[in-house]
Amino acid sequence: MEYGKASFLKGRISVCRQNFFSRLFKERIFGKCDSCFFSAGATGALIADPYSAAPRGPSRMAASRLPILLAVAFSSLSCILSHSNREMWFQDLFPPNTCPINAKANTFYGIMFDAGSTGTRIHIYTFVQKSPEKLIELEGEIFESVKPGLSAYADQPEKGAETVKRLLDMAIDAVPPHLWKKTPVVLKATAGLRLLSEEKAQALLLEVREVFEESPFLVPEDSVSILDGSYEGILAWITVNFLTGQLSGQNQHTVGTLDLGGASTQITFLPRFEETLKQTPGDFLTSFEMFNSTYKLYTHSYLGFGLKAARLATLGALDMEAVGGQMFRSSCLPKQLEAEWHFGGVKYQYGGNKQGETGFKPCYLEVLKVIKGKLHQPDEIRGSSFYAFSYYYDRAVDTNLIDYEEGGVLEVRDFERKAKEVCDNMERYNSASPFLCMDLTYITALLKEGFGFRDSTLLQLTKKVNNIETSWTLGATFHLLQSLGITY
Ligand SMILES: O=c1[nH]cnc2c1ncn2[C@@H]1O[C@H](COP(=O)(O)OP(=O)(O)O)[C@@H](O)[C@H]1O
Ligand SMILES: [Ca+2]
């Protein structure tokens, strides 16, 4: 995939003032770029699950008071501002403040759907161009999600497409009517659909395509598809490194990214050593050009190694044929537990080891069977720091390792410490998810035994960077705008 000579990036990208009020989904966000400071108008209770289908108040995007201006100076991306009232590890990397004051804006939108294995999400990005010769700005993002994901509708594709339509109605509300025809809409599905049969996946995609065709938006060719796993990693890497200003200027200190989804997991980084390139299998390396630079990235997507797929693998239930009323037991679950769990449209019965062992040690051994020897371990990453998001973030929040809004920096050993604490005291964590012990143990084993990270490896747990979701969707939107020749 070529990302190079990104003419649409000949612009300034900024994230400016956001005001909020509710309409559809009780929520609608206006972007107004007349200041470089987030004026977080509304504040309120934090919401525990950022991706639930339930409507939420305006506080969700309002809590960050991080003022930002990310800029692309004609054909080379550069970040020209970041003030922060809190410590961020990339803080020093932002050059000094410059702030556009001309508020007369020409606004563009891009709509990107992420059809993930556990939910479907809409990202509506707003870009502003103040005059043809001026730099373009990424003004903000409107984000909403529904659960479950499309793959849960494998046998009811029309119902699945209906969930997409509900989210798309939100875009109809957010994008001004005179821009509908110029606003591209795209859906990319990830591991949930990759795991379905070709026939079922295509039926779902076809229904979604019909929803798009009936909408007033610009529907590009190939607007509904399954995203290749390696692009999922690359596009998330672009998003994070773009938002943190790492793709600009001479001194690029790009950061590696770790995404832990429900059904697959990705690792992506820019190798620094020739040795790494030599030792890496060819299909783990992908070259692309962006912001006038060529990057040869190490990236791999492990299908079936997402958090929820790993639960099934640990329980020995990954092979769906074998399900038929069987009870799957694990030492990672509370002893007396017997329950049902739905994933990917399939019902599983699972429970604790009533007679046998429970706790961290036996659980770790169980989980190791799923991981040991299955992942490539690049030497170079052992001492590097990585950005980690998705379920790494969620489980760290669930166990108070990090704050929901702020995120934070953890060492790999923090996950292990927490896993031990939870697994060896399951009765104390009864009210939390019964899978908490298994999930934390899996994350620990994945990081240490899977990828080969050190106990002391630093992880920057991040849900949003500069108030934009850390998701592959922003990278995908850049690519979309470029391929459509929507230049700025
Ligand atoms: O836009 C986003 N920003 C941050 N995290 C996200 C976003 N979208 C999904 N996630 C996280 O991804 C995880 C679910 O993975 P997903 O459903 O995408 O599975 P998949 O990637 O295996 O298809 C959850 O932890 C959810 O919080
Ligand atoms: Ca995902």
For residues 183 and 486, the answer to whether their CB atoms sit within 8 Å is: no
Whole-number Å distance between alpha carbons of 214 and 228:
26
Residue (of 44, 40, 72) closest to 56 by Cα position: 44
- So what's the pLDDT on residue 192? 93
Ligand 1 contact, 391 CB (< 6 A):
yes
Q: Is 394 in the pocket of ligand 1 (CB under 6 A)?
A: yes
* CA 133 to ligand 2 center in whole angstroms: 36
Structure tokens at 53: 């289908």
**C-beta 390 within 6 A of ligand 1:** yes
Smallest Cα–Cα separation from 365: which of 436, 453, 438?
Answer: 438
Q: Cβ distance 315 to 323 under 8 Å?
A: no
pLDDT of residue 34: 22
460 known ligand binder:
no
- CA–centroid distance, residue 116 to ligand 1 (Å): 6
* 7-230+470-483 under CATH 3.10.20.30, yes or no: no
Q: Is the CB of 116 under 6 A from ligand 1?
A: yes
**pLDDT value at position 466?**
85
Are 259 and 249 in contact by the 8 Å Cβ rule? The answer is: no
pLDDT the model gives residue 392: 98
Amino acid in position 341:
W
Cα 304 to ligand 2 centroid, rounded to whole Å: 13
Ligand 1 binding pocket mutation candidate from 193, 387, 390 (most atoms within 8 A of CB): 390
The pLDDT score that the predictor gives to residue 364 is 98
Residue nearest to atom 7 of ligand 1 (CA): 471
| Dist. CA 28 → ligand 2 center (Å) | 24
263 belongs to an annotated ligand binding site: yes
- Please report the pLDDT score of residue 324 as a whole number: 66
pTM of the model: 0.81
CB of 266 shorter than 6 A to ligand 1: no
Chain centroid offset of residue 120 CA: 12
| The two three-digit tokens of residue 162, written as one number | 């209906």
Q: How far from chain centre, in Å, is Cα 430?
A: 28
Ligand closest to 398 (CA) is: 1
Q: Is 265 annotated as a binding residue?
A: yes
Q: Write out the chain's pLDDT in tens, 488 residues.
A: 332 222 223 223 333 322 222 222 222 222 222 222 222 222 222 122 222 223 333 222 222 222 222 333 222 222 222 222 222 222 222 222 222 333 345 889 999 999 999 999 999 999 987 777 665 678 999 999 999 999 999 999 999 999 999 999 999 999 999 999 999 999 999 999 999 999 999 999 999 999 999 999 999 999 999 999 999 999 999 999 989 988 876 667 899 999 999 999 999 999 999 999 999 999 999 998 776 678 899 999 999 999 999 999 999 987 755 556 789 999 999 999 999 988 777 888 999 999 899 999 999 999 999 999 999 999 999 889 999 999 999 999 999 999 999 999 999 999 999 999 999 999 888 777 899 999 999 999 999 999 999 999 999 999 998 899 999 999 999 889 888 877 53
How many angstroms separate the alpha carbon of residue 398 from the centre of ligand 1? 15
Nearest CA to ligand 1 atom 8: 471
CB 137 less than 6 A from any atom of ligand 1 = no
Cβ of 239 less than 6 Å from ligand 1: no
349 is an annotated ligand-binding site residue = no
* Cβ-contact 314, 446 below 8 angstroms: no
ipTM: 0.98
For ligand 1, atom 20, name the residue with the nearest CA: 261
The preferred substitution site among 47, 51, 387 for testing ligand 1, maximizing ligand atoms within 8 Å of CB, is 51
| Bond into 177 cis (ω within 30) | no
Q: How far apart are CA 51 and CA 431, in angstroms?
A: 20
Domain boundaries, the chain: 7-230+470-483, 307-374+408-461
User: Which contacts (CB < 8 Å, 24+ apart) does range 197-205 have?
Assistant: 200/154, 200/155, 200/157, 201/226, 203/157, 204/150, 204/151, 204/153, 204/154, 204/157, 204/160, 204/161
What is the three-class DSSP state of 353? coil
Dist CA 384 CA 266 (whole Å) = 16
Specify the 3-state DSSP secondary structure of 416: helix
**Closest Cα to atom 26 of ligand 1:** 390
Task: Indicate left, alpha or beta for 480 from its phi (over 0: left) and psi (-120 to 50: alpha).
Answer: alpha
Neighbours of 153 (CB within 10 A): 21
Quote the CA–CA distance of 392 and 310 in Å, as a whole number.
Answer: 14
- Report how far apart the first and last C-alpha atoms of the chain are (Å, whole number): 21
- Which one of the ligands is nearest to 146 CA? 1
**Catalytic residue status for 144:** no
For a substitution probing ligand 1, which of 52, 113, 118 has the most ligand atoms within 8 Å of its CB? 118
Task: Identify the active-site residue in 137, 139, 141, 232.
Answer: 232
362: helix, coil or strand?
Answer: helix
Closest CA to 123 of 464, 484, 357, 488: 464
Judged by its nearest atom, the ligand closest to the C-alpha of residue 463 is: 1
CB 474 within 8 A of CB 468: yes
262 assigned to a ligand binding site: yes
C-beta of 192 in contact with ligand 1 (< 6 A): yes
| φ, ψ dihedrals at 368, nearest 5° | -60, -35
Is 389's C-beta closer than 6 angstroms to any atom of ligand 1? yes
Q: What angle do CA 304, 306, 309 make, to 5 degrees?
A: 55
51 lines ligand 1 (CB under 6 A): yes
